[in-house]
Amino acid sequence: MKRGIAVLVSLSALVTVGYFTASKWAIRHETLTFHDPARDNRPVAVDVAVRWDKEMQANAGMLRLPVAILNHGNTVKFTEYSFLANVFAARGYMAVSIQHDLPTDPPMVTKVGELYVGRQPQYLRGVANIKFAVEEMEKVQPNADYDHLTVVGHSAGADISMYFAKLHPELIKKVVTLDNLRVPFITDGRFKILSFRSRDPAFKTDPGVLPSEEVCEKAGITVVRTGFQHNDMRDTGPDEAKASIQGMVDKFLDDDSPLRPVITKTPPLMTDAGPVAPYVRDTGAPPLQN
């Protein structure tokens, strides 16, 4: 009996791996660069990941592609989250990863006492990048649903995702964050939120960012505390971390399936951070991806 269960588990794992592997080969990646005339022709590069068959169906007018917008962490390239982009593309989404930072941009500076410890200018720049990229993508692929976006991000990119959802809730379908540390969660329940939290002493979530367990339950927010490091949540991270995140995101995209906990080094649990604070303190965390 035990042997039979072990075989079944092994087969299930192989099917899961096979699903993502097979889908990966059917996914097309393309990098495009747009120039925003309203911001001195600022270049905004995007990496587009989409399944060949779904794109052909969309071009034939048979369907509209759902759209996922991926936002990278500070100092990280927009191409370093292919493990996430491929999950969305495999599910039939058009995944658009946006490059937010340029070498000529001023460095991200922590200013104690200011809103989001002085990171608001970067978040507003990210919001502008998203809006501009979406407008340009409509010209490239008009057969996609740009009115119901799923926004995804890691670290500073996760804060950009949450901030964009705050400013444009009418455009949001779902939100996925990987360790947003500064911008408080939206708790009005207008869309579902999935958030992965790291276990990393160098990267601490500011007070007031995470709602209480009771608020999360009412608002449709699923918070998963993992045993992974902050920087594990990108392509350079360990396979265990990426596979766990992929599996949970895949379930999150299936509206008909209940969310199931990810198996990590520590059991998933909710974090009660108390009421949302209008201002957040400086955590003293290293600037990388913060």
Q: Tokens in use for 20? A: 């993502």
How big is the chain, counted in residues?
290
- pLDDT reported for residue 285: 39
Residue 100 neighbours by CB distance under 10 Å: 26
Across 89-98, average pLDDT: 97
Phi, psi (5° rounding) for residue 209? Answer: -75, -50
Across 102-122, average pLDDT: 86
pTM of the model: 0.81
Confidence band (pLDDT; 50, 70, 90) for 24?
Answer: low
Q: Quick check: helix, strand or coil at residue 17? A: helix
For residue 223, what is the enclosing H or E element? Answer: strand 221-225
Q: Tokens in use for 180? A: 């947003």
Percent of the chain's residues with pLDDT above 70: 79
- pLDDT reported for residue 62: 97
Across 33-55, average pLDDT: 98
- pLDDT reported for residue 170: 96
Say if residues 65 and 58 touch (Cβ distance below 8 Å).
yes
Tell me the HSE value of 245 on the side-chain side, using a 13 A CA sphere.
Answer: 35
Q: Tokens in use for 152? A: 């995804």
pLDDT at 166 over 60: yes
Across 33-37, average pLDDT: 98
Percent of the chain's residues with pLDDT above 90: 74
110 versus 136: the higher-pLDDT residue is 136
pLDDT at 23 over 80: no
Say if residues 210 and 271 touch (Cβ distance below 8 Å).
yes
Residue 94, strand partner residues: 67
pLDDT at 20 over 80: no
Q: How open is the CA angle 23-193-216, to the nearest 5 degrees?
A: 145
Say if residues 66 and 94 touch (Cβ distance below 8 Å).
yes
Say if residues 108 and 290 touch (Cβ distance below 8 Å).
yes
Across 74-90, average pLDDT: 96
Q: How open is the CA angle 119-124-128, to the nearest 5 degrees?
A: 150
- pLDDT reported for residue 274: 29
Cα gap 186→223, rounded to integer Å: 13
Say if residues 230 and 203 touch (Cβ distance below 8 Å).
yes
pLDDT at 236 over 90: yes
Across 187-213, average pLDDT: 95
Confidence band (pLDDT; 50, 70, 90) for 257?
Answer: very low
- pLDDT reported for residue 194: 98
Across 267-286, average pLDDT: 34
| H-assigned helices in the chain | 2-25, 52-59, 82-90, 120-140, 156-167, 213-219, 239-252
- pLDDT reported for residue 27: 96
190 versus 10: the higher-pLDDT residue is 190
- pLDDT reported for residue 282: 36
Under 8 Å CB-to-CB from 258, ≥6 apart: which residues? 251
Q: 155-182 as b/e, with b when 16 or more CB fall inside 10 Å? A: bbbbbbbbbbbeeeeebbebbbbbbbbb
Q: Do β-strands 172-178 and 94-98 pair in parallel, antiparallel, or remain unpaired?
A: unpaired
Across 196-224, average pLDDT: 95
- pLDDT reported for residue 118: 82
Cα gap 72→160, rounded to integer Å: 9
Say if residues 61 and 143 touch (Cβ distance below 8 Å).
yes
- Nearest alpha carbon to residue 116 among 25, 196, 208: 208
C-alpha 254, offset from chain centre: 16
Most confident stretch, 6-20, 48-62, 113-127: 48-62
Across 166-183, average pLDDT: 97
> Considering the chain, what is the average pLDDT of its residues?
84
